[in-house]
Structure 1
Amino acid sequence: MFLARITGSVVSTQKVEELVGQKLLIVEPLRVNEKDQSDLQPTGRSFITVDTVGAGKGEVVLCVQGSSARFTPGTKTLPIDCAIVGIVDSVTLKEKQIYEGGDV
Structure 2
Amino acid sequence: MKLAKVIGNVVSTVKTESHHGCKLMVVLPVDTDGNPAGDSIIAVDGVNAGIGETVLIVEEGGSARDIMRNPNGAYDTVIVGIVDEGIN
TM-score for both structures, normalised by structure 1: 0.75
- Structure 2 residue aligned with 1:85: 80
CA positional deviation for 1:57 = 0.4
Amino acid corresponding to residue 69 of structure 1 in structure 2: A
When residues 50 and 73 of structure 1 are mapped into structure 2, their CA distance, relative to the original with a 3 A threshold, is: closer
Aligned to 2:46, which of 32, 42, 52? 52
Which residue among 49, 67, 70 is the counterpart of 1:72? 67
The equivalent of 2:10 in structure 1 is 10
Letter in 1 for 2:22: Q
Residue 51 of structure 2 is aligned to residue 62 of structure 1: no
Higher Cα Rg: structure 1 or 2? 1
In proportion to residue count, which structure has more strand? 1
1:42 positional shift: 1.1
- Alignment deviations for residues 15-48 of structure 1 (CA, whole Å, 9 cap, x no partner): 222211100000000013xxxxxx3211241111
Amino acid at match of 1:2: K
- How many pairs align? 87
Q: 2: distance between equivalents of 1:75 and 1:87?
A: 21
4+ long deviations beyond 6 Å: none
Unaligned regions of 5+ residues in structure 2, if any? none
